[in-house]
Structures are given as C-alpha cells and as structure tokens.
Amino acid sequence: REKFLGDQVFRINVRNGDEISKLSWLVNSDNFKLDVWRSPSTFGRPVDVLVPSVSLQPVRSFLASQGFEYSVTIEDLQALLDDEDEEMQHNEGQ
C-alpha cells in the first residue's frame, strides 16, 4: 500500500483572482506532484492541497514569496492513515 510518510496537507487562503491564478499554476505544475483535495475556485474558498514530503520546502518557499496565507491542517498524514487503519482492524476483530 502506498505510504504518505512526511506528507502534509496545507489549507491555503485565496483572496483574489491573481492569487487564484498563481495557485492554479502551482497545483497544475507537474514538478511538485501536488494532490488537490479542494480545488481553487473563483469564490474565495480556501484550497486544500496534499504536499508530498519532497515538495514541502519548494511549496513553502513559493507560498511565502507570493504572499499567500496558509496553515498546515494535517502535519502527519501517515499518522492519520495509520490511526484509521488501526481502527478498521480493531472493528473487524470485534
């Protein structure tokens, strides 16, 4: 099974059309292998993106350089997945 060691999920605030364009470029860029959980929209909703561990530094740099506000909503994705797995296995056992 695929592991997501070191991967994180960022919630990025989007304030205007210019930021939407920049973020759309980021998420569509093949370089960072981002997985979009909530897509950029034209209407000011935050964007959620799964950032692989290898891309954390460049993505953070990009967001900082472009003045984006963001938070890390999931710091340790694999830990959450492990918890979910454990719970399913426990339930199956029961």
Partner 1 sequence: ERNGSHFNYGAYHSLEAIYHEMDSIASDFPDLVSRVQIGCSFEHRPMYVLKFSTGGEQQRPAIWLNAGIHSREWVSQATAIWTARKIVSDYQKDPALSAILEKMDIFLLPVANPDGYVYTQTHNRMWRKTRSLNPGSLCVGTDPNRNWNASFAGQGTSANPCSEVYHGPHANSEVEVKSVVEFIQNHGNFKCFVDLHSYSQLLMYPYGYTVKKAPDAEELDEVARRAAKALASLSGTEYQVGPTCTTVYPASGSSIDWAYDNGIKYAFTFELRDTGHYGFLLPASQIVPTAEETWLGLRSIMAHVRDHLY
Which residues lie near partner 1 (CB under 8 A)?
1-2, 4, 9, 11, 35-43, 45, 48, 50, 73-74, 77, 80-81, 83-84, 87-88, 91, 94
| 15 versus 61: smaller Cβ distance to partner 1 | 15
> Computed from CA positions of residues 36, 4, 83, 79, in that sequence, does the dihedral angle turn out positive or negative?
negative
Shortest Cβ 65–partner 1 spacing (Å): 25
For partner 1, the closer of residues 7 and 63 by Cβ is 7
For residue 71, the cross-strand partners are: 11
